[in-house]
Structure 1
């Protein structure tokens, strides 16, 4: 399991409106594409520098495809990264102010301290 890779996915997808739309429309396609093309690029480095060993576990991949913020949090994904990406993905489907944010908080209400480690 790689908290770094989960957080990298959330961070990079959230910062690109085209990737957000692809994740909204077809999460399985985007996760597969991202893992095969971007997972091993080094973040904030010059092009051409990469690694070869990073990959999602089946459980991580399934949680990303399902857009399951509870499982992602349990795996150690940073809650601010999931929240900001999922606001971009889901908020426009809601009619009440802060409706998604409240639902996000409620979905994690069962989590008690100590929280999962979100350090990478």
Structure 2
């Protein structure tokens, strides 16, 4: 499992409005494309430098495909990254703060100590 790769996915998708929409409409296709094309690019690097070893586990792929922020948090993905991305994708479907409250309610069963989210 790679918390780095999960966070990198959430971070890069959230910063591109077209990717946000693509991930909302086609999560499986977006995850597959992103893993093949973006996962091994060096973050914030302008050249075509790449690493070769980063890939999601099947559990990570499933959680990303299903927009499962609870499982992503339990895997160590940073909750601010999932919250900001998921707000961009789903807040429009709800009234003011309804999505944020539902996001928190879905995680209220998780107790201390929380998963390590250090990066």
Using the size of structure 1 for normalisation, the TM-score is 0.97
Number of the residue aligned with 1:13: 13
For 1:85-96, list aligned pairs within 5 A: 85-94=85-94, 96=95
Q: Distance in 2 between matches of 1:9 and 1:48?
A: 18
Q: Distance in 2 between matches of 1:46 and 1:29?
A: 25
Q: Distance in 1 between matches of 2:54 and 2:112?
A: 30
Q: Distance in 2 between matches of 1:47 and 1:39?
A: 15
Number of the residue aligned with 1:65: 65
Number of the residue aligned with 1:102: 101
Matched residue count = 119
User: What is the root-mean-square deviation in Å for CA atoms of aligned residues?
Assistant: 0.6
- Asked if 1:56 corresponds to 2:66, the answer is no
> Displacement, 1:55?
0.2
> Displacement, 1:84?
0.2
Q: Distance in 2 between matches of 1:48 and 1:67?
A: 29
Number of the residue aligned with 1:119: 118
Using the size of structure 2 for normalisation, the TM-score is 0.98
> Displacement, 1:47?
1.6
SS of the aligned residue for 2:108 comes to: coil
Return 5+ residue gaps in structure 2 as ranges. none
